[in-house]
Amino acid sequence: MRARSDVRPQTLVTSLLAALTTWVTLLAWTPFAEVPGGFMVPLLGGCLLVAVVGILLRSVRLPALLVLLGQVVVVFVWLQHRLAADAAFAGLVPTPGSLRAMAGAVHAAAAVSQSYAAPVPATAPQFYPLLIVAGSAAALLVDFLAVGIRRPPLAGLPLLAAYTAPVSILDGGVSWVKFAAAAVCFLFLIAGGEEERLTGWGRQLTAGASAIDVAGGVAPGHAVWASARKIGFTATALAVLVPVLLPTFSASLFGGGGAGGHGNGDAVSISNPMVDLKRDLVRGADVDAIEETTTDPDPSYLRISVLDSFDGDAWRPAGRDIPSKQRADGALPQPPGLVSGVASRTYTARLKVSDSFQSRWLPTPYPTTSLKAPGDWRYDRSTMDFISAAEGQTTAGLSYRLRSEVLSPTAAQLADASPAPLSVYTPNTALPAHIPGYVRNLARTVTAGRLTRFEQAVALQQFFRVNGGFRYSLERSPGNGTSDLLRFLGTGKGSRVGYCEQFAASMALMGRTLGIPSRVAVGFLRPDRIRADTYVYSTHDLHAWPEMYFGGVGWVRFEPTPAARTGGGVPSYTTQQIPRTPTTQARSLPSAAASANRLGRTDPAQAAAAQQSGGTSSRRRVLLASAGAGLLAVLLLLAPRALRTLVRRRRWAAARDPAGWVEAAWREIQDTATDLSIPWDDRVTLRSAAQQLAVSFGRTDDSDPAGARRGPAADPAATAALHRLTGLLERARYARELPEGTTTLEEVMGDVALCVAAMRAGARRRRQLLATWAPRSLLSRLGVGRRTDAGGPTSGVGGVDRTVASNTR
Amino acid sequence: MDGSVGGGRPDANGKEDSVTPGQGSGTAPDDARSTNGSSGAAGRSRARSGGADLDTLGRVTGRIRDSIEKVIEGKPEVAKLALVVLLSDGHLLIEDVPGVGKTMLSKALARSIDCTVRRIQFTPDLLPSDVTGVSIFNQDTRQFEFRPGGIFANIVVGDEINRASPKTQSALLECMEEKQVTVDGTTYSLDSPFMVIATQNPIEMEGTYALPEAQRDRFMARVSMGYPVEAAEIAMLDTHTGANPLDDLEPVADASEIRKLIDIVGQVYVSEPVQRYAVAISTATRRSAELMLGASPRATLHLVRAAKASAAIAGRDYVLPDDVQELAVQVLSHRLLTTVEASMSGRTPEAALRQIVAGVPMPESRRAAT
C-alpha cells in the first residue's frame, strides 16, 4: 500500500479529474432548487477541497484509508464552519453546540425538502445544506475509489446514485448536455486510471524515445488517450443521440430536457402540469400568465394539458401521437365524440402569454376549432391539447389567435349519450391492477340508484362538492397516486382534505372504476377582467378538473372542487333535471334501457343469485379446465405413439405390389432404427446397411444360453429375415422387375416383425420405452431429425471450375 | 464378320503357342465358330428368363476359378477379377513386383480355357510387326502372304509390356481397342473372345517406357497380385517344387463357351439408379481436389461392364450398387493421376479413390432426399 501511494503528476490529474467529474455530475441536481447556485457553488468548493486535501496527503505517502480519514475530517470542519460557525470554537473547532447546530441545519433542510416539491423556491434556503452534505459525501467517495484505491470504474456507483436522484424525483430527467458532460468526465477518469495501470507494466518503446529516457511518461499515454477519446466520445454521442432518433415521441423527453436549465426566480415553468400546479398555487406572488382578448363575455377554463393515463402513482399525460400534419396552423378537426345537435357559441380570442410563463403545452379553451400559433405546435387528435414539437420552444412571450366554442349540452342529451367507442373507452377506463376495493365500493355507494352514466357522474360531483364533507385546503402535500387518493377519500384523520388536484384525480379515478371514460385536465380556472374584453389568467388561477366522455357530446367538464375555491360555478348541465320517462316503462323495456348509455339494472336478488351461481359455475369451470388439461396432457402423451402406429398402418396400406411392400418394410425398419437410436447411414448400399443393422440385433429367445447376446448371430432367424428383405429390396430396386407372387405381404410383414423384435431386444430398456412413447422417427418425418445430405462430391457448383482448373494446370 | 476374317486365320498359327506346347487344341476354334451364332441368338432369346444361363455361367466360372486357384494359391479376388475382365470383354493389366505370379496367373487363366493363347515377351527391340503380323513374299506362289503376328489369339499374354518401345506398345493397344489388325491396307479382324493380359513391373523402371495415360485407359482393370499370405506360400512350396502345376491343368471351358458367357453378361440389367451411381463416382473423381485427371467416360463404361460381369458371376441378372462399389478401385484407379500436392503428401490414386467412393451417396438416398 505504501509503495503504491507515491505521488506522480498523474495522481494530481486524476484527483482533479475526480473532483471535476463529481461536480459535473452534481449539476444534475440544479432543478432541485430555483436558485441552484445556493448549493452548487459551495459544492464546487467542497469538491476542490477534497481533491486538494487528497493530493497533499498522498504526497506524503499516507495509506489510502488514512487519506480518506483526513479528507473526511477536513470536509467536516469545513461543513461545520459553513453551517454552524457561530457555535464552533473560533469558527473551526467543533463543540457540542456546533454539532447540535449542524444536525439541526440538516434536519431543517430535510423538513423543507419534504414540504416543497422541486424546485424548492428561493425563499427556502434552509434546503441547501442537505444537498451540500450529500454532494460532499459523493465527492469523498469518488475521490477514495478513483484515486485512493485506484478503481475509477467503481466511482461510477456513487456518481450514478447522485445522478439517479433527480432522474427519479424530478419527472422528466436531466438535460442531455449535463448527462453528456458527466459521462465524458467519467470516461476520462476511467481512461486516466487505465493509463496509470498500463504504465505499471513498463513504458512503450517508440521510435523517438530511448528506453532509458526516464523523464518521459507522456509517450505511452498517447495511444491510450487517442483510443479513450474515440471510444468515450462515440459512446457518449450514441447514448445521447440514439434515444432522440428513435421513432417514438415521448411527451416527457423534450419536456424534461428543457425544464432544468432555467434558474431565474420569476419563471413559471410547466413540464408536468400537475407537478407544477401546487408550487404555482402556493407561491406567494400571483404572477400574470396569460392575457386573453376575447369576444366571449365570460371566459373560463383555459386548458393547458390533459392527463389521460393513470398508473397508480400519478396521473400523467400519455404518449402523444403528433405527426407533422397535425400542426396547429389553421382549422382543427372536430373534437372527438361531438356530433351536431349540441348548442354552441363560437368566439374568437387572441392570447398573449407573458414572458415568465414557460410551458411546453399551449393553453387553449376546449374545444378549439381553429388555432394559429407561431412555431411548431402540434395537437393530439384524442386529447386535443397542444404540445411543442420543437426543442426549447416554450410558450414564453408567445402570442396566438384561436377560435373556440362553448358547448351547452343539455342534461337530457348527456343522459341519452351513446356508449363510448372502444378507442376512447379502453384507454380512458384503464386502471392499474391494484386499485383498492374501497375506491370501487365508495364509487358504487355514491352512485347507487343512478340510472345513467351521466347521472352517476353528476352524483360523483355532488359527492365531492357537498355530500362527502370534503374541505378545500392547500395545506395538503401534493400527490395523486393511489395511496394519496385513498387517504383523501378515506374517513380517518387528515382525510377528505385537499385541493383541486386530489378532487379532480379522485373523481376521474372513481369515474373510471364505474366504467365512465375519464381523465384529468389541467389549466386555468377563471381570469380577472382588466378591460372590456381583456382578461388575465394568473398562476393562482391554475386548476385541475376531470373530464368525462359521453357519446354524441364528447369530453365534458365536471367540477368536483368545492365552491370555496371555484366560486360556486358548476357546469349548467350538471344541475339540470333529466326529463325521465316513468320508471315502470323503463322496467318493461329492459333491453332499451340497457342499450344506449343506461345501465342494465337487474333485481338485486337476481343479481345475488347470478353471483352465487357464478361462484359455483366458476368452481365447476376450474374443475372442468383442470380435467380438460389433464385429458389434454394424456392425449399429448399418447399422441406420438398413436401417430407412429398410424404411420405404420398407412405405410402398409399404401403398398400395393411386392415392390411397394418391400419398400414399406425397409422404411419401417429404418424408422424403427431411428426410434431406437440405432445408427443408420442411408448413404451406404443396402447390404452394408443391413450388415450394420444386424450388429445391433439382440437375442429374442433365451433358449440357448451359449448364444451371442448381440450381433448377427444373436438372432439367426431375424438375420435371415433381414437378408431376405434386403435381397427382395435389391431386386425391387435394381432388377428389371419384381414379379407378382415372389413374396406375399404376410411374409414381408413377418420378416419385418422378426427384425423389429431383434432390434428392440438389442436396445436398452430406456431406448425401448422412448421408441414406444416418443418415437424419434416422427421428427425425422417432419424433416427435423434426419440430415438431408445435399452435398457429397457429386453436387456443388464449384466442381466444374475446379475440374477446368485442374485440367489446365 | 467373325466368320469371314476368322477363316483367314490359319489354325496352325494357333498351335505355335509358346505356352502350351503339344496341346490338342487345333479343332477348338472351329467348334467355337460353329456354335457362336446359335449360342448368341439363344442367349438373347433367353434373356428374360436368364436363370438357366446364369446357372451355366456360374458353373463355368466356378470351374475356371477352381482351376486358376490350383496354381495361384490364396488369391481368389485376383482370380475373380481376371474372370470378370474376361467375361466383360476387356483387358487386364497386372502390375506388381517380379516373382509374385503375374505370368503364372495369366498362363493359368489361358490354360484353363481351351482356346488359342499366345505370349509375347516385350523387349525394347520388339517391332510392331512382331505383334500385328507381316506380309512376306512367297517365292512359290509369287505373292505376298500375310503372316499373322502374336496378337492373333484368344488370349494374349503381353509380358513386361512397359519394356517395349512406345511404337510397339501403341500397335498392341490399337488392336486391343479395335479388335482388328490393319497391315498393308488389309484389315484382319481378331477372334472373339479376345483378351490381353499385360503384366508390368512397377520397379526396375530403368530402360522402360511407362504406359501413357491414354493407353492405360484401354485396360479395363488393373490388379496387383500382392505377396501371398504365409500359409499360401508354404502350400505353394509344396505344390510348385515337385512339378509345374500348370502341367496338370486341364482346360475346363472353351472359346465358344466363353463367347456364350460374354453374351449372357451383356444381358445383365443395369437399373437407372445404378447407372447414376456409376456416373456419380466418375464425376466425383473429376471434381476431386486431389486428382489431376479423373475418370474418362470410357472408364465409366468399363466400370458398368465389369459390374455386369461381377453380378452375373454372383448369379444375378441385375447389377447392384455393391458391384459397382467393389470394382471401382480396380477399374478406375490406374486411370487417375493425383495432383502434385497430393502425391507429395503420399496420397496414392487408390487411396483418393477409396475416399471418393465412400463419399458418394447411394442413388436411393438421394432420391429419397429430393
pLDDT value for B307: 94
User: Is B36 contained in some domain?
Assistant: no
* Cβ proximity of B205 and B247 under 8 Å: no
| Whether residue A147 sits in one domain with residue A47 | yes
Contact A685 B322 (CB under 8 A): yes
Question: Do the strands A518-524 and A302-307 form a parallel or antiparallel pair, or are they unpaired?
Answer: antiparallel
Amino acid, single-letter form, for residue B144 = F
| Whether residue B275 sits in one domain with residue B254 | no
pLDDT value for B14: 38
Q: In whole angstroms, what is the distance from residue A538 CA to residue A535 CA? A: 10
Q: In whole angstroms, what is the distance from residue B256 CA to residue B28 CA? A: 8
Question: Do the strands A542-550 and A518-524 form a parallel or antiparallel pair, or are they unpaired?
Answer: antiparallel
| Whether residue A187 sits in one domain with residue A69 | yes
User: Is A23 contained in some domain?
Assistant: yes
Q: In whole angstroms, what is the distance from residue B320 CA to residue A726 CA? A: 12
User: Does B292 contact chain A (CB < 8 Å)?
Assistant: yes
Side-chain-facing half-sphere of A287: CA atoms under 13 Å:
19
A109, burial (CB in 10 Å: exposed 0-12, middle 13-18, buried 19+): buried
| Whether residue B130 sits in one domain with residue B67 | yes
| Whether residue B255 sits in one domain with residue B359 | no
| Whether residue B152 sits in one domain with residue B119 | yes
Domain that holds residue B337: 268-370
The secondary structure of residue A264, as a DSSP letter, is: -
pLDDT value for A742: 77
Q: In whole angstroms, what is the distance from residue B94 CA to residue B157 CA? A: 10
| Whether residue A273 sits in one domain with residue A242 | no
* Cβ proximity of A536 and A527 under 8 Å: yes
Contact A730 B364 (CB under 8 A): no
| Whether residue A228 sits in one domain with residue A286 | no
Sign (positive/negative) of CA torsion A653, A656, A662, A666?
negative
pLDDT value for B339: 87
Query: How far apart are the CA of B316 and the nearest CA of chain A, in angstroms?
Result: 9
Which CATH number is B363's domain given? 1.10.8.80
Domain that holds residue A127: 3-200+223-246
| Whether residue B340 sits in one domain with residue B208 | no
| Whether residue A280 sits in one domain with residue A231 | no
Domain boundary among the residues A375, A410, A445 is at A410
Q: What is the pLDDT of residues B243-284, one digit of tens each?
A: 787 887 888 888 888 898 999 999 899 998 899 999 999 999
User: Is A789 contained in some domain?
Assistant: no
Chain A, nearest residue to B323 by Cα: A685
Chain B, nearest residue to A809 by Cα: B292
Which CATH number is B75's domain given? 3.40.50.300
* Cβ proximity of A454 and A416 under 8 Å: no
User: Is A511 contained in some domain?
Assistant: no
| Whether residue B220 sits in one domain with residue B90 | yes
Distance from first CA to last CA of chain A, Å, rounded?
70
Cell of A240: 445521447
Domain boundary among the residues B222, B238, B267 is at B267
Q: Which residues of chain A are within 8 Å of residue B271 when distances are taken between CB atoms?
A: 733-736
User: Is B176 contained in some domain?
Assistant: yes
User: Does B320 contact chain A (CB < 8 Å)?
Assistant: yes
More confident residue, A467 or B27: A467
Q: In whole angstroms, what is the distance from residue A725 CA to residue B365 CA? A: 18
Residues 6+ positions from A273 with CB-CB distance below 8 Å: A304, A305, A307, A317, A359, A361, A522, A523
**Domains contained in chain A, number:** 3
User: Is B33 contained in some domain?
Assistant: no
Candidate from B293, B362, B369 with C-beta closest to A790: B369
Q: In whole angstroms, what is the distance from residue A628 CA to residue A626 CA? A: 5
Q: In whole angstroms, what is the distance from residue A35 CA to residue A41 CA? A: 11
User: Is B185 contained in some domain?
Assistant: yes
Q: Which residues of chain A are within 8 Å of residue B292 when distances are taken between CB atoms?
A: 806-807, 809
| Whether residue B272 sits in one domain with residue B262 | no
User: Is A724 contained in some domain?
Assistant: yes
Cα dist from A148 to A65, A78, A141, A144, whole Å: 8, 21, 9, 4
| Whether residue B290 sits in one domain with residue B180 | no
Q: What is the pLDDT of residues A475-491, one digit of tens each?
A: 777 777 788 888 888 87
* Cβ proximity of B163 and B123 under 8 Å: yes
* Cβ proximity of A545 and A557 under 8 Å: yes
pLDDT value for A702: 65
Q: What is the pLDDT of residues B209-242, one digit of tens each?
A: 888 887 888 899 988 888 888 888 888 888 778 7
Interface test with A, best of B339, B356, B357, B362 (most A CBs within 10 A): B362
| Whether residue A289 sits in one domain with residue A158 | no
Contact B364 A682 (CB under 8 A): yes
pLDDT tier at B297 (50, 70, 90 boundaries)? very high
Domain boundary among the residues B221, B244, B267 is at B267
| Whether residue A231 sits in one domain with residue A349 | no
| Whether residue B273 sits in one domain with residue B183 | no
Chain A, nearest residue to B282 by Cα: A794
Contact B361 A789 (CB under 8 A): yes
Residues 6+ positions from A360 with CB-CB distance below 8 Å: A254, A255, A258, A270, A271, A387, A388, A393, A394, A395
| Whether residue B343 sits in one domain with residue B222 | no
Q: Which residue ranges in chain A fall short of pLDDT 70?
A: 1-9, 117-118, 170-173, 200, 202-224, 244-276, 278-280, 282-284, 566-568, 578-618, 702-707, 781-809
Domain boundary among the residues A410, A445, A471 is at A410
* Cβ proximity of A502 and A485 under 8 Å: yes
Cα dist from A269 to A366, A395, B28, B231, whole Å: 22, 9, 125, 110
User: Is B15 contained in some domain?
Assistant: no
User: Does B203 contact chain A (CB < 8 Å)?
Assistant: no
Contact A734 B320 (CB under 8 A): yes
The percent of residues in chain B predicted with pLDDT above 90, rounded, is 13
Candidate from A683, A793, A806 with C-beta closest to B362: A683
User: Is A507 contained in some domain?
Assistant: no
The separation between CA B342 and the C-alpha centre of its own chain, rounded to angstroms, equals: 30
**Domains contained in chain B, number:** 2
* Cβ proximity of A593 and A585 under 8 Å: no
| Whether residue B284 sits in one domain with residue B167 | no
| Whether residue B223 sits in one domain with residue B82 | yes
Amino acid, single-letter form, for residue A769 = L
Q: In whole angstroms, what is the distance from residue B188 CA to residue B7 CA? A: 10
Q: In whole angstroms, what is the distance from residue A67 CA to residue A145 CA? A: 12
| Whether residue A240 sits in one domain with residue A169 | yes
| pLDDT above 90 for B302 | yes
pLDDT value for A1: 41
Nearest to A748 by CA among A628, A659, A673, A672: A659
* Cβ proximity of A480 and A505 under 8 Å: yes
Candidate from B286, B318, B361 with C-beta closest to A735: B318
pLDDT value for A345: 84
Question: Do the strands B117-121 and B155-159 form a parallel or antiparallel pair, or are they unpaired?
Answer: parallel
Cell of A692: 450394420
Give the residue-averaged pLDDT of B119-133.
Answer: 88
Cell of A735: 432388377
Contact B269 A789 (CB under 8 A): no
Chain B, nearest residue to A733 by Cα: B271
Interface test with A, best of B213, B275, B364, B367 (most A CBs within 10 A): B364
User: Is B321 contained in some domain?
Assistant: yes
User: Does B361 contact chain A (CB < 8 Å)?
Assistant: yes
Domain boundary among the residues B225, B242, B267 is at B267
User: Is B17 contained in some domain?
Assistant: no
Q: What is the pLDDT of residues B133-158, one digit of tens each?
A: 888 888 888 888 888 888 888 888 88
| Whether residue A149 sits in one domain with residue A29 | yes
| Whether residue A314 sits in one domain with residue A165 | no
| Whether residue A238 sits in one domain with residue A330 | no
Q: Give the SS3 label for residue A260.
A: coil
User: Is A699 contained in some domain?
Assistant: yes
| Whether residue A271 sits in one domain with residue A242 | no
